[in-house]
Each structure stands twice: as structure tokens, then as C-alpha cells.
Amino acid sequence: MTEVFIRLVWTLAIAGIGLGLYWLASKAILRRGQLASSHIPNYHKGTPAILYFTTPDCAPCKTVQRPALEKLQTQLGAEHLQVLEVNAAEKPEMAQEWGVMSVPTTFILDLEGHPLHVNHGVTREDKLLRQLSDLVKE
């Protein structure tokens, strides 16, 4: 019984450390995005945006992420939400500048183009909408 308890404690400690490191990495990536936010092609201040990093061979980007972003932009309207797609294969320097390590990666940008949230991997439409809720006027 004691051995099981010790293993449980170690498991929880390792999981906690992993979650803490993920949180710290996300904060560091958002700070990098703050520095890079002045170099966003086609961004128009005054409208919130989703900066979306993808590549041509990313299957989840094509089948899940892009349709979710298109549906969200249709739902909110192009005048209330910009979706800025960046091909990380064509612009590796921009992906590196933003700290993108995998695709899809999405950043929620405020009205000034500063990143508020970063999402690694496929992010569902409802989560993106929650992250945008304070910025978008429906």
C-alpha cells in the first residue's frame, strides 16, 4: 500500500511539473509574440484577429482547424474578426519569431495586434470563441 501511495505522489508531482512547464512555455511564447506583433502582414488595427500558422502538408489544419476558423469568421463577420493565415513553410522566420514549434498554432490578437492567447495544436471553435469573447461585438 505504501509503494502505491509513493508512486501516486510521484505521478502527480511529475504531471504537475509538466503542466507548470507547459504554462511557462506558453507565457514565454506570448512574450515573444508581443515583440513580433509589429510585423504582422495584412493586419488592420481596431479589429481582433486570429493569427493562424499552418503548412500545406498539415492534415489537421486542412480538415479541422481551417474549417473551424472559416465557420467562426462567417458567424462573427469579417468586419468583427480577421483570420490571418501564415504558411510556416514559406515564412519560417516569422514562425520562429513567434515561437511556433508545431502546426496548427493559433494566436488570439487584441485590437492593437498584441497576442492574448496561444493555442498549440487543433483548437475547437468554441474555445476560440471564448478566447475572443471580450474582444468581439456580435
Longest CA pairwise span in the chain (Å): 61
Residue 137 lies in a domain: no
What is the pLDDT, as a whole number, of residue 137? 59
Residue 67 lies in a domain: yes
Contact in structure between 64 and 127 (CB atoms under 8 Å): no
Residue 60 lies in a domain: yes
Per-residue pLDDT tens digits for 79-95: 999 999 999 999 999 99
What is the pLDDT, as a whole number, of residue 88? 97
Closest CA to 109 of 54, 64, 55, 43: 43
Residue 88 lies in a domain: yes
Query: Which cell numbers in the block locate residue 14?
Result: 511529475
Low pLDDT (below 50) residues in the chain:
138
- Structural domains in the chain (count): 1
What is the pLDDT, as a whole number, of residue 22? 80
What is the pLDDT, as a whole number, of residue 138? 47
Show the domain range for 44. Answer: 2-132
Altogether, the residues listed in the chain come to a count of 138
CATH for 63: 3.40.30.10
